[in-house]
Every structure is written in C-alpha cells, then in structure tokens.
Amino acid sequence: MTEPLSLAIDRRAPTVRTPLGNGTSWVDLVPGFLREPAALLADLVQSIDWQQGEVWRFDRYVEEQRLGAMVRQDSHSALRQTGLHLEATYRVPFSGATAVLYRNGSDFQGLHSDRQMKWLDDTLVAIVVLGEARPFRLRPRRDVNHPVARADATADVVVTPGHGDLLVMGGRSQRDWLHGVPAHVTDQPRLSLTWRWAGRSGRPDTGPGYFDGRHFSDRPGATPYRMRRPGS
C-alpha cells in the first residue's frame, strides 16, 4: 500500500526563495520539510554503506573530509516521498539520491559547483539536510585570474539548513555560483541527501569539475576520483 505523502514530509511547510545575483539563479529554502528528521538521521547513518572518497590533487590522492554513498530512493519512505514531491513541485524528472555524511565539524566541502551535470544553464539541485544546522555558503563564480577570486566574500550568501530542512538551488546556480559546507565548530553529524536535474539548454560545460582533479603530474594510470571503504 502506498503511504500518504503527508506521512514523512510536510507539504504545507513554507518556501522562502532568495534570488542570487541578477536573478538568473536562486535558492529555495523550506524549513521543517521532513517530519521526524532525527529518527531518519539515526536510521540512515547506521543503514547506509558509507564509503571514503579520494580525489586527485596535484600529484597524489587526498581523502575527502566526508563520507559518501549512492542510495536507493525506494529504500525509505522519506526518500521516496521526497523524490515524488520534488518532481510534482518543480515538474521535472530528478535523479537521485546521493548521500553525504559530515561526521563532525572537521568534515567539510570546499567551494565548488556541480559541473559534472555538464548542462549548467538550467539546473536544479535539491538537498535535504539532516542533523546539525551548519552554514551553507554560496559565492559568485569569478575568473580564476581575478585578484580576489579566492578571498572576496563580500557577495557571499549564507544559509543554515538542518534538522529536516530542504534547500534547492536553481537556474544558472551551477554555472555562475559556487557552494560549499565549510568546517564548523561542532561534534554533531550532518547528513545531506541530494537530487539533481539538468535541462539540456545552452552550451555544455567542458571545463574540469571538482572530481576531475587538479594536477601537474604525468604519472601514468592516475585517475581523478576513486572510492575507498572506510578503514581501507
């Protein structure tokens, strides 16, 4: 029997939209989207087969400061209902879902965009956040040669989703903006569940993405990203 959508999610939760830059990008924040987020967090932390990722940086592999996994949308009613809700609300077919676990405040994700989606002129990246409400930072993308490209935070937009909130980045947000979860002072976990969609409009992005690595080595056989089991 199909469970009613109101069982795991709150469809009446208000959506707050924040335009980014000139309005071609935006962020939706839905506080209190999931019901009983603490129970779901405890369940997923224990049931997901978490893996340690590594990225190729310059001349060696470096462990990501977080754990990740692909999850089946039908593995839990909250995931299934979230996927259905997203498709009904935004009227596009999302992929999903991927899970990321920040075990404590020392785990983080640097500023990046989801360029692996390739078609970046019209995208949706929906993230349900369980656990600790940590800053989620968005920064306008600048030319890498800009003298303050890395240091200038004056135009940053910071939101703090957590405890079952839903965040959705849309429009040109993956082409024109960077986002990340910086290190934070906490001993509590943060778990994010992500669904994505990209419209095939505009021109595809051909630059290297986050997982393509940055290196100056000709070492043969090096690949930009790989997964390791925890402890391996």
Tokens representing 229 are: 């089991």
Question: What is the number of domains present in the chain?
Answer: 1
pLDDT of residue 185: 97
Whole-number Cα distances in Å, 50 to 44, 89, 95, 185:
10, 30, 19, 23
Structure-block tokens of residue 202: 């505009």
Question: Which residue's entry shows tokens 């429009």?
Answer: 171
Q: Is residue 224 part of a domain?
A: no
Entry pTM: 0.84
**pLDDT tens column, 57-91:** 667 778 889 999 999 998 999 999 999 999 999 99
pLDDT at position 206 is 76
Looking at residue 177, which CATH number applies to its domain?
2.60.120.590
Q: Is residue 122 part of a domain?
A: yes
Residue 55's pLDDT band, with cuts at 50, 70 and 90, is confident
Is 10 a member of any domain?
no
Which spans in the chain are helix H? Answer: 37-47, 77-90, 173-176
Alpha-carbon distance of 124 to 175, in angstroms, equals: 12
- Rounded Cα distance between 179 and 112, Å, is 5
Is 214 part of a structural domain of the chain?
A: no
* Structural domain contains residue 227: no
Contact assessment for residue 97 and residue 83, using Cβ atoms and an 8 Å cutoff: yes
21: in domain: yes
* 99's tokens: 């899970």
Q: Is residue 62 part of a domain?
A: yes
Is 95 inside any structural domain?
yes
Alpha carbon 215 to its chain's center: 24
Rounded Cα–Cα distance for residues 95 and 116 (Å): 13
Say what the pLDDT of residue 142 is: 80
For the segment 51-57, the average pLDDT, to the nearest whole number, is: 78
Secondary structure of residue 194 in the 3-state scheme: strand
> pLDDT at position 6, please?
56
Give 175-222 pLDDT, tens digit per residue.
999 999 999 999 999 999 999 999 988 888 877 655 555 443 444 444
Q: What is the pLDDT of residue 201?
A: 85
Instruction: Specify the higher pLDDT residue, 130 or 229.
Output: 130
Tokens for 50, please give them.
């978490």
Above 90 in pLDDT, residue 50? yes
Q: Transcribe 88-116 into DSSP letters.
A: HHH-S--EEEEEEEE-STT--EEEE--GG
pLDDT one-digit tens code per residue, 112-135? 999 889 999 999 999 999 999 999
- Per-residue pLDDT tens digits for 151-163: 567 789 999 999 9
Query: What is the 8-class DSSP label of residue 31?
Result: T
CA 103 – CA 107 distance, rounded (Å):
6
The answer to whether 150 and 134 have CB atoms below 8 angstroms apart is no
**Structural domain that includes position 47:** 16-207
